[in-house]
């Protein structure tokens, strides 16, 4: 009677120990696979596996709290998406020649560095490119065309534009006046 009771306890204890061993081996193996998907750092991998091997379930809990949030695959996909976005951005939006921040085609000055980008038409008020000599919408000659004689306007280097213009805007406008394609001059 007493003997059989003792042996029953022994069997239960053996089963519990076997269960715990299988569980901890499973936890160690799962941690090993999980951490390899999250970091390439050998030290971090070893510490994570040792943490679970020594402390078992509390170690596993600690690992779940401390492990890197992203798997390597997720990080790779996020980098890929960011690269695609970076490649598409500059072609869609023009940049300010003064500070390189994105600007709109309609801006007259850069809202960040106040570089003069365009001038409003004297008649209809639409934004005109600084090297245009007439408004394309209402055919009014622009202020730039009025200040210099039309015969020499194509080949001018010298005559300085109005004094209130910032230097960055005057240099870009004189460059683009000489070369027919401003985008080619930038490259």
SS3 of 134, please?
strand
Nearer to Zn ion (CB atom), residue 53 or residue 95: 95
Binding of Zn ion by 168 (CB under 5 A): no
**Least spacing, CB of residue 101 vs Zn ion, in Å:** 5
Cα–Cα distance for residue pair 28/36, rounded to 1 Å: 12
Nearest distance in Å: CB 92, Zn ion:
18
State yes or no: residue 135 binds Zn ion (CB under 5 A). yes
CB 133 to Zn ion: min, Å? 12
> Measured from the CB atom, is 45 or 140 closer to Zn ion?
140
19 is a site residue for Zn ion (CB under 5 A): no
- Angle, CA of 48, 45 and 57, to the nearest 5°: 20
Q: 147 and 136 in contact (C-beta within 8 Å)?
A: no
Map 33-45 to HEC letters. HHHHCCCCCHHHH
Taking the C-alpha atoms of residue 74 and residue 53, their distance in angstroms, rounded to an integer, is: 27
Q: How far apart are CA 29 and CA 36, in angstroms?
A: 11
User: Which of 20, 108, 138, 185 lies at the binding interface for Zn ion (CB under 5 A)?
Assistant: 138
Residue 46: count other Cβ atoms within 10 Å of its Cβ: 12
**Shorter beta-carbon distance to Zn ion: residue 9 or 138:** 138
Q: How far is the CB of 110 from Zn ion (least distance, A)?
A: 3
Count helices and strands in the chain by DSSP H and E runs: 6, 2
Residues 96-125 that bind Zn ion (CB under 5 A): 96, 98-99, 110, 112-113, 115, 121, 123-124
User: Taking CB under 5 A as the rule, does residue 169 contact Zn ion?
Assistant: no
- Write down the least CB distance from residue 155 to Zn ion, Å: 26
Task: Catalog residues that contact Zn ion under the rule CB under 5 A.
Answer: 96, 98-99, 110, 112-113, 115, 121, 123-124, 135, 137-138, 140
């Amino acid at each position: 009677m007493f003997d059989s009771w003792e042996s029953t306890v022994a069997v239960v204890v053996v089963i519990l120990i076997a269960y715990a061993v299988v569980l901890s081996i499973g936890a160690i193996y799962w941690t090993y696979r999980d951490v390899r998907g999250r970091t390439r750092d050998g030290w971090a991998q070893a510490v994570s596996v040792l943490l679970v091997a020594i402390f078992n379930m509390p170690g596993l809990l600690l690992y779940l709290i401390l492990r890197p949030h992203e798997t390597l695959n997720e990080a790779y996909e996020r980098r890929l998406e960011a690269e695609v976005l970076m490649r598409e951005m500059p072609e869609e939006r023009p940049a300010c020649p003064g500070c390189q921040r994105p600007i709109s085609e309609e801006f007259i000055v850069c809202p960040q560095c106040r570089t003069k980008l365009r001038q409003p038409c004297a008649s209809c008020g639409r934004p005109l490119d600084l090297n245009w000599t007439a408004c394309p919408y209402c055919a009014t000659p622009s202020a730039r065309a009025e200040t210099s004689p039309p015969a020499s306007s194509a080949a001018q280097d010298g005559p300085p534009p109005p004094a209130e213009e910032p230097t960055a805007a005057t240099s870009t406008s004189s460059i683009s006046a000489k070369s027919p394609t401003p985008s080619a001059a930038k490259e």
